[in-house]
């Protein structure tokens, strides 16, 4: 273990990381392999990973060393360990049981609000005792002991936005019906979730000794995202599912409330189609805006201020895993031409299937992306 730790600590000032820090390139290319792919590549299963802090620690060190040495993307690989239960954390805080599996990240069980009246029984989550929190505190303490304080262990935060958590607690179909049948209930639910996040966040920041509005303390989410307090992950915010009117009246007010609470929104994320909502989202002034393959990047480029950086993500299957090289090149070129002069992170991420075949594909994608970019500039 100590040999791995020593090598891991050495990443801090590695030539790769120093080169990337100095370059500060306006357009960068990144790979995001899911934990399931890392497990198959490096030989660990996710039941062991989430039940044994030592396995989690060793596995993270191994995949970050591998990433640093074998995947030449533009991600700075810091010698930091993250505790991350993915999308299972927030619903667990309200009593929904996490589901652990050997081949995929934790998920959450059946909706906790089978009936609207169940909302009155929900309690503000306890930072120490609700849901997955006892496990997270255990992991945090055990990993610090295992590393002897030589490696920084980052404590997780609350990532999911109010609408995302509401969908988890109530279920997609029920919540959409509630919008029609009982809009007051939807507002009550979203207000409760927003208040819960604020109270939980206050306790977290007291525990860590950080300021709520401080975005310098980053934590690691879904393996490859470095995020801070204010982030809003909302894959369920999708213009293909509901209208701008619904977004403006039911969802945006609670996002704006959190924006004010945190003193801004550093990063806004949705894998859905955000095109109808872009003008309203611009008001949150995110420093980094996620633009999925479902969102019109040219429209986003025309709407957002130039200082907003875009995180543009390929479709993981169509644009990467099953794409021939010419399709990869076409998709990358389209992004670069749609947002000229804007700072961009371009990602091949959300990759959860395969192992060595997936690795070969992302290496081809990286090679292709760099060639396309060089031809354009």
pLDDT per position as a tens digit, 22-61 = 999 999 999 999 999 999 999 999 999 999 999 999 999 9
Q: How far apart are CA 246 and CA 250, in angstroms?
A: 6
Would you state the pLDDT for residue 164? 98
Closest CA to 88 of 59, 102, 119, 109: 109
Q: Which residues pair with 154 in a beta bridge?
A: 82
- b/e per residue, 283-307, with b = 16+ CB within 10 A? ebbbebbbbbbbbbbebbbebbeee
Question: Does residue 250 surpass a pLDDT of 80?
Answer: yes
- Among the listed residues 80, 61, 53, 269, the one whose alpha carbon sits nearest the alpha carbon of residue 146: 53
Mean per-residue pLDDT over the chain, rounded: 97
Average pLDDT over residues 145-153: 95
Can you give the pLDDT at residue 326?
98
Q: Indicate the domain borders of the chain.
A: 2-376
φ, ψ (nearest 5 deg) of residue 81: -105, 135
Binning pLDDT at 50, 70 and 90, where does residue 122 land? very high
pLDDT at 296: 98
CA dist., res. 254 & res. 246, Å (int): 13
**Of the candidates 197, 266, 237, 226, which has an alpha carbon nearest to the alpha carbon of residue 84?**
226
Q: If pLDDT is split at 50, 70 and 90, which confidence band does 351 have?
A: very high
**pLDDT at residue 377, rounded to an integer:** 76
* 260-305 residue pLDDT tens: 999 999 999 999 999 999 999 999 999 999 999 999 999 999 999 9
Say what percent of the chain tops pLDDT 90.
Answer: 97
**In this structure, are residues 342 and 24 in contact, taking their beta carbons and an 8 Å threshold?**
no
**What pLDDT digit, counting tens, does each position of 205-241 carry?**
999 999 999 998 999 999 999 999 999 999 999 999 9
Topology adopted by domain 2-376: TIM Barrel (3.20.20)
């Amino acid at each position: 273990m100590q040999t791995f730790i020593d090598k891991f600590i050495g990443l801090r000032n590695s030539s790769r990381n120093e080169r990337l820090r100095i370059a500060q390139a306006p357009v960068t290319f990144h790979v995001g392999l899911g934990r399931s792919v890392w497990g198959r590549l490096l030989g660990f299963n996710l039941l062991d990973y989430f039940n044994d802090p030592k396995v989690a620690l060793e596995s993270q060190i191994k995949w970050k060393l591998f990433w640093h040495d074998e995947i030449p993307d533009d991600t700075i690989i810091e010698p930091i360990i993250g505790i991350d239960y993915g999308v299972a954390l927030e619903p667990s805080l309200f009593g929904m049981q996490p589901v652990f599996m050997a081949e995929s990240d934790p998920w959450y069980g059946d909706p906790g609000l089978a009936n609207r009246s169940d909302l009155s029984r929900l309690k503000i989550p306890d930072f120490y005792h609700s849901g997955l929190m006892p496990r997270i505190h255990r992991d945090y303490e055990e990993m610090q002991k295992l590393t002897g304080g030589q490696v920084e262990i980052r404590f997780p935060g609350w990532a999911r936005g109010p609408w995302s958590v509401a969908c988890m607690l109530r279920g997609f179909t029920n919540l959409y019906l509630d919008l029609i049948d009982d809009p007051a209930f939807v507002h009550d639910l979203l207000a409760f979730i927003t208040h819960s996040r604020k109270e939980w966040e206050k306790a977290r920041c007291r525990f860590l000794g950080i300021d709520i509005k401080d975005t310098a303390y980053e934590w690691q989410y879904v393996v490859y995202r470095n995020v801070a307090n204010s982030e809003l992950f909302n894959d369920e915010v999708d213009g293909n599912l509901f209208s701008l009117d619904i977004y403006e009246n039911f969802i945006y007010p609670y996002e704006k409330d959190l924006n004010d609470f945190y003193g801004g929104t550093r990063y806004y994320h949705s894998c859905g189609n955000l095109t109808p909502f872009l003008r309203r989202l611009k008001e949150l002034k995110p420093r980094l805006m996620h633009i999925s393959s479902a969102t019109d990047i040219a429209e986003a480029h025309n709407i957002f201020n130039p200082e907003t950086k875009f995180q543009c993500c390929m479709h993981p299957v169509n644009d990467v895993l099953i794409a021939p090289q010419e399709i990869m090149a076409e998709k990358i070129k389209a992004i670069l031409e749609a947002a000229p002069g804007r700072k961009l992170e371009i990602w091949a991420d959300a990759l959860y299937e395969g192992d060595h075949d997936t690795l070969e594909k992302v290496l081809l994608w990286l090679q292709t992306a760099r060639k396309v970019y060089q031809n354009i500039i």
